[in-house]
Amino acid sequence: MINSLRRKFIILSISTITFVILSVFITINILNFNDISNRSDQIIYRVKDDKELFLNLVANTDQSKEPSDKFLYDKFFVAEVSNDNKILYIVNKDSRKTTEELVTVVEKAIQLNKDMEYVDYYKFCYVTIEGHKFLLFIDREQDFIIGQNFLENSILVGFLIVILSSLILIGVSSRIVKPFEENYKKQKQFITDASHELKTPLTIISSNADVLEMQAGNSKWLSNIHNQIDRLTYLINSLVAFSRVEEKNTLEKTKFSLTNLLQSRIEDFDELANFKGKKLVVNAEKEVYYIGDVNTIMQVIDILLDNAIKYADDNSEINVELKNNKKNVELRVTNKAQDIKKGELNKVFDRFYRLDESRNSTIKGYGIGLSLANLIVEKHKSIAKAYSPEDGIFVISIKFM
């Protein structure tokens, strides 16, 4: 249990750190790329809205005379196109590209049939001046390369932070869960010690009650004593069994016939059910096999059958189904119980919980059985559910994975 708690702590912590780092770096990179796009828009609108500047750029073919405006440090080129989108000429201010390459870029931009878009790292827009239609292209390749490098570095730094954090968490996790481990050990030791300490006086009380019964005959007071001894003995044995299963880290798994195991347990409980005026109706598929701890799985079946027989309405049927699904094996026990209300009832798996909630039920039990069954199911990485599909019907379904 402690190892499981430690693993969950490490996984949860690493997941939280990863999520936070991922969120921060995604936000930073989105803002960075938005900034690149905004700078491109500023440059384009600066040129587009200044008619004199734009005409100067178009007329100025000598790069040595390029304007010194701070917005125009970026490489650019301008293409004039006809009304039917034919390229008339190109003014190239980008020495890294040949005219043929720029023609390809302009053709791609024309095919997009959009304004203020990107094509091959160029942000472009349409400009109309004195009846002439131009395409203005601003080269943003360098900014995108810087942004891409920043993204790659962010991923690398984030990965290193997660790895380093994981190593630190793994190292300190044992110290963090140590108080829980000590409390857990004390709890287990208390249960063990209490069970041994209680068994001795219970044995003595039971023996004395037997002697009194032989001397004075049976009476309702002696009968009450025996009943309370049985209840306490059952409680002690249940707590010890729960503690043993809880501290069991490994299961002795083997492949066995779940169908045969269920049939054998039905045979043992059938007489008890008949004695209490209830009938077990079994619908089990043949040749259903499962890989698990056969002894603890048998405990689960016993607990479910015992619970159903105890709490089912008088003169009612208890339906037990076993079927092999594609991804799991499902065991389902259904019984009628008049006080049950429709809905999800997984709280029955809580320790010491009983549906009557009065704690004064005449039925022997302390609400540990289903909790123990659920613990065994969880040890097998499987799922147990309790619910009522309609008022008066109680169902426990176990999907063995």
Selection from 309, 271, 262 nearest residue 290 by Cα: 262
Residue 330, pLDDT > 80, answer yes
Residue recorded with tokens 């402690």: 2
Instruction: Write the CA distances from 95 to 62, 109, 205, integer angstroms.
Output: 11, 20, 104
pLDDT in tens, 78-102: 888 888 888 888 887 766 778 888 8
Same domain, 150 and 74: yes
Q: Is 150 exposed, middle or buried (0-12, 13-18, 19+ CB in 10 A)?
A: middle
Q: 333 with 372, same domain?
A: yes
Answer for the pair 327, 401: CB distance below 8 angstroms, yes or no.
Answer: yes
- The pTM score is 0.53
What per-residue string of b and e applies to 344-363 under the rule 16 or more CB within 10 Å gives b? ebeebbeeeebbeeeeeeee
Both 283 and 346 in a single domain?
yes
The verdict on 353 and 393 lying in the same domain is: yes
Decide which of 193, 222, 247 is a domain's last residue: 247
Q: At what angle do helices 141-176 and 178-216 cross, to 10 degrees?
A: 40
What range does the domain containing 2 cover? 1-174
Give the per-residue pLDDT at 64.
39
Residues 6+ apart with CB under 8 A from 269: 280, 302, 305, 306, 309
Burial class, 127, CB count within 10 angstroms (exposed 0-12 / middle 13-18 / buried 19+): buried
Looking at 120, 154, 174, the residue that finishes a domain is 174
pLDDT in tens, 184-212: 677 667 766 666 667 777 778 888 778 87
100 & 166 share domain: yes
367, 354 contact by CB (below 8 A): yes
Give 45-82 pLDDT, tens digit per residue. Answer: 877 787 777 777 776 544 434 444 444 545 778 888 88
Is 260 in contact with 297 (CB distance < 8 Å)? no
Please report which confidence band the pLDDT of residue 398 belongs to, taking 50, 70 and 90 as the band edges: very high
CATH number of the domain where residue 222 is located: 1.10.287.130
pLDDT tier for residue 317 given thresholds of 50, 70 and 90: very high
Q: Grade residue 120 by pLDDT with cuts at 50, 70 and 90.
A: confident
113 shares its domain with 208? no
Tell me the two tokens of residue 259.
Answer: 């169908």
Domain boundary among 229, 247, 265: 247
Q: Do 161 and 219 sit in the same domain of this protein?
A: no
Q: Is 139 exposed, middle or buried (0-12, 13-18, 19+ CB in 10 A)?
A: buried
Same domain, 286 and 375: yes
Rg (CA), the chain: 39
Residues 141 and 199 in one domain: no
Give the count of domains, the chain.
Answer: 3
Residues 211 and 120 in one domain: no
Q: Give dist(CA 43, CA 75) in Å, integer.
A: 11
163 and 193 share one domain: no
Three-state secondary structure call for residue 11? helix
- Looking at the structure, tell me whether residues 10 and 151 fall in a common domain: yes
Task: Report how far residue 363's alpha carbon sits from residue 311's, in angstroms, rounded to the nearest whole number.
Answer: 8
CATH of the domain at 307: 3.30.565.10
